[in-house]
A and B are shown apart, each in its own frame.
Chain A
Amino acid sequence: MKEKYIEDLKEIKDIMNRSSRFISLSGLSGITAGVIALTGVYLLHKFVFEYQDYLIFDRVAISSDRFDQLWQISLGTLLLAILSVIYLTTKETKKRNQRIWDHHTKRILVNLTIPLFTGGILCLTLLFEGFIGMLPPLSLIFYGLALINVSKYTLNEIRNLGLLEVALGLIAMQYIEHGLIFWSIGFGGLHILYGAIVYRKYKL
């Protein structure tokens, strides 16, 4: 009799976990994305921002060479980070016998995409208009809002990560000339920290 109820409780817990929270966003993917971001920011510093004062509250003139390197490095970093997260998450999901593409993943992607695309389009517009200094704070803020928006469907840690990114973005706006440092902290440091915490806590 008791065994049946213990089994029941186990089953309930398992179904609740499998159905409501996408728990496969692995810590390892956080760390990998963080390292990729740090590399990207370093390349930006070396090839685009060194000896330049682009990071101000105004429109700046940027040579077409540097402009090309700016978007190529940024796009490359973003794609590499996304691909590595998709790869590592798929691997983890397969290991746990969960399906990667279900109503749950769809819901997460839709809710992540809305604030992210809004911010992305805004940042692109500012970039083409030459307001490069605005990019670090605004990208951090919109990324943070996107994380907060999906946090109810995944690990609670995502919500804290989002809040930290937004706060960091707001501070970065005050110290606009140090945008690259805030980018390294936000997309590099915080992701690595998130990854380490999730890895320790959930062993994934």
Chain B
Amino acid sequence: MKDLLKDLDKAFENRIRLGIMSALVVNDSLDFNALKDLLGVTDGNLASHLKSLEKSDYVQFKKEFLDRKPNTSYYATERGIAAFKKHIGAIEQLLNQ
């Protein structure tokens, strides 16, 4: 039981951060507005959660220009994907107990 709790990632305790990672794991990349629509959160809320995931190096972003407008798209890092998988694995094991 103790080992399992260790595998649960603090970064994913928050539902919105978990949602961001779920979406980025199955998509190559998503832009800010797509994430916002998907999760139904405010700009500021999403931005702060993205920032914290960036800090853990789970998410990175790239800036491009679409129709001369700046567009930021986010993608999950390998580290982030590994952490996410580990987290899900731990949840599943916890539920199986």
List residues of A whose CB falls within 8 A of some B CB. 2, 5-6, 8-9, 11-12, 15-16, 18-20, 99, 102-103
| Cβ contacts under 8 Å, B91 to chain A | 5, 8-9
Total interface residues on B, using CB and 8 Å? 19
A6 touching B95 in the complex, CB below 8 Å, given contacts A15-B39, A16-B25, A16-B26:
yes
A11 touching B38 in the complex, CB below 8 Å, given contacts A20-B26, A20-B27, A103-B30:
no
| Cβ contacts under 8 Å, A2 to chain B | 94-95
CA distance A20 to B88 in the complex (A): 18
Q: Is the interface of A mostly helix, strand, loop or mixed?
A: helix
- Most A CB within 10 A of own CB, among B22, B23, B25: B22
Q: Are A15 and B23 in contact (CB under 8 A)?
A: yes
Report A134 CB to chain B, min CB distance, Å. 37
Q: Are B95 and A19 in contact (CB under 8 A)?
A: no
Report A37 CB to chain B, min CB distance, Å. 33
Report A144 CB to chain B, min CB distance, Å. 24
27 A-B pairs (CB sep. < 8 Å): A2-B95, A5-B94, A5-B95, A6-B95, A9-B88, A9-B91, A11-B15, A11-B22, A12-B18, A12-B19, A15-B22, A15-B38, A16-B22, A16-B23, A16-B25, A16-B26, A18-B38, A19-B23, A19-B27, A19-B38, A20-B23, A20-B26, A20-B27, A102-B34, A102-B37, A103-B31, A103-B34
CA distance A16 to B88 in the complex (A): 13
Q: Are B94 and A19 in contact (CB under 8 A)?
A: no
Name A13's closest neighbour in chain B (CB-CB). B22
- Identify which of residues 52-97 in chain B touch chain A, using a CB-to-CB cut-off of 8 Å: 88, 91-92, 94-95
| Cβ contacts under 8 Å, B95 to chain A | 2, 5-6, 9
